[in-house]
Amino acid sequence: MRSLGLALIIVIGQTALAYGTDATLRRTMAIAHVCTVCHGPEGRGTGAIPSVVGRNQDDLGELLRAFRDGRRNGTVMPRLLQGVSESEIDALAAYFAALKPLPRRK
């Protein structure tokens, strides 16, 4: 089930590339795919790395900007966000905020 979201990201990204859709969408989906490397499938978090799914869009956007602009320390996030535009951050925040967290296992 978790790999379904990753597959969806890949398919959307490939579709955007194939049909020449908006460059921001293509780049945003590529960035979202990179996020899943650490944050897990669909950004749902793995172990000590937090989930980015279902978070408030404005808060997530501000957090990403803080990492990018050096107002928040990190080892990986500030590097990954270098060169990411305002519109791309807005799109990433909207994408991850729109995903629903998985139910907790009992």
Residues 29-77 pLDDT 10s: 888 888 888 888 777 777 788 888 888 999 999 999 999 999 999 989 9
Domain extents in the chain? 2-98
Residues 16-25 pLDDT 10s: 554 455 777 7
pLDDT recorded at residue 101 = 74
Q: Where are the alpha helices (DSSP H) in 1-106?
A: 2-19, 23-39, 57-69, 77-80, 86-98
CATH of domain 2-98: 1.10.760.10
Model-level pTM greater than 0.85?
no
Q: Rounded to an integer, what distance in angstroms lies between the CA atom of residue 18 and that of residue 83?
A: 24
Residue pair 44/2 in contact (Cβ under 8 Å)? The answer is: yes
